[in-house]
């Protein structure tokens, strides 16, 4: 059996499994550059998983993983501006096809300003941490002192910004759902604070 890869080459499958994943946004358009991770589940009750295959979707939102052993897997699909999704897939011998639709996440912008003059501060690391979930978003501020974090899911977060040798002070932020846009400011002086 053969499976056509996004580049047009054919991959030969003997007694193996293959997975073709079509990733779309809510508008039905294919999402290029989505990350696909296929993992074997770990022992019962364990969060440990063994990564079996990884791929990225092409310009039409299609990703292919071949030469897999038939069996049960956990498929994780992620994209920068969208909420990640995980699902169980059963792969028999041959090629299986899976369609996945991702929802757009919220956008949180953190701006870091120098206290007093309120001038932007470029470079500090901004961190947005989901409370009780262990998931975090982070990135440096740009010239305008802002850091834009996308694909943020609904929930409570702690936003902070830090510079070496200065204490980071964080405050809670609530994201109400997809499409929500939140902005917070951190003022730099003797400590950071978020409002």
Q: Give the strands of the sheet with 62-68, arranged side by side.
A: 62-68, 17-24, 94-101
Pair 63, 122 in one domain? no
Across 162-189, average pLDDT: 67
* 194, part of any domain: no
Domain boundary among 101, 124, 143: 101
pLDDT at position 55 is 96
Pair 57, 111 in one domain? no
* 27, part of any domain: yes
For 58-98, the pLDDT digits (tens) are: 999 999 999 899 999 999 999 988 888 999 999 999 999 99
Pair 7, 97 in one domain? yes
Provide the domain limits for residue 42: 2-101
Q: Is 101 a residue whose pLDDT tops 70?
A: yes
Pair 84, 60 in one domain? yes
Number of domains in the chain: 2
Is the Cα dihedral 172, 178, 181, 186 positive or negative?
positive
For 134-148, the pLDDT digits (tens) are: 778 888 888 888 888
* 144, part of any domain: yes
Domain boundary among 79, 101, 123: 101
| Comparison of pLDDT for 135 and 116, the residue scoring more | 135
* 110, part of any domain: yes
* 160, part of any domain: yes
* 195, part of any domain: no
The whole model's pTM is what? 0.67
């Amino acid at each position: 059996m053969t499976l056509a890869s996004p580049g047009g080459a054919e991959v030969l499958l003997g007694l193996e499994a293959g997975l073709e994943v079509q990733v779309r946004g809510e508008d039905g358009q294919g999402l290029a550059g989505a990350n696909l991770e296929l993992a074997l589940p770990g022992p019962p009750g364990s969060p440990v998983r063994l990564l079996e295959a990884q791929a990225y979707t092409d310009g039409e939102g299609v990703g292919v993983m071949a030469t897999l052993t038939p069996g049960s897997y956990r498929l994780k699909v992620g994209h920068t501006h969208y909420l990640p999704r995980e699902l169980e897939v059963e792969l028999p011998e041959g090629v299986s096809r899976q369609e996945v639709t991702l929802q757009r996440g919220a956008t949180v912008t953190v701006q870091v300003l120098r206290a007093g003059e309120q001038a932007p501060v470029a470079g500090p690391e901004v961190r947005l941490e989901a409370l009780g979930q262990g998931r975090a978003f982070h990135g440096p501020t740009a010239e305008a002192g802002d850091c834009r974090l996308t694909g943020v899911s609904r929930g409570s977060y702690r936003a902070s910004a830090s510079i070496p040798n200065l204490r980071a002070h964080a405050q809670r932020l609530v994201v109400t759902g997809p499409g929500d846009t939140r902005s917070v400011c951190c003022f730099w002086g003797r400590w950071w604070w978020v409002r």
